[in-house]
Amino acid sequence: MYVVTSTFLVPPEKAQEVIAIYKQRSRKVDKEPGFIRFHLLQNSKKSGEITVYMEWNTRTDYLTWVRSQQFKDIHELEKQYPDQELAGIVPTIHQYEVVAT
């Protein structure tokens, strides 16, 4: 299994706005080969720290998604958020190979 996290910081007062955006996500990724699970995580001590957590069968499955036109289209929409402060946030990405369960 392959796990990818994407963590970003938003002003705490905008955290609920970001969460609402993700609750309405397109779910296109859910249909991608090798996709297992999506979770949106909010740090319990730092409400402005939001993490997208995704599980994939393999690294190759994840990379195929990242290189797809659907991925590009979804992330292009992010640049068009009405709130330009949110549109300009650059996440920190971490990728993990699951080595034991």
Confidence (pTM): 0.87
Find out whether 96 and 1 touch, Cβ atoms under 8 Å.
no
| Between residues 23 and 57, the one the model is more confident about | 57
Residues 44-67: tens digit of each pLDDT: 999 999 999 999 999 999 999 999
Domain that holds residue 28: 2-97
Question: In 3D, which of 73, 82, 92 has the Cα closest to residue 6?
Answer: 92
So what's the pLDDT on residue 72?
A: 85
How much of the chain, in percent, has pLDDT values that exceed 90?
A: 65
Which band of pLDDT confidence, cut at 50, 70 and 90, is reported for residue 78?
Answer: low
Residues 86-100: tens digit of each pLDDT: 767 789 999 999 999
> CATH number, domain at 66?
3.30.70.100
Asked which of 33-37, 81-85, 96-100 is least confident by mean pLDDT, the reply is 81-85
Find out whether 49 and 7 touch, Cβ atoms under 8 Å.
yes
End-to-end CA distance of the chain: 10
Domain count of the chain?
1
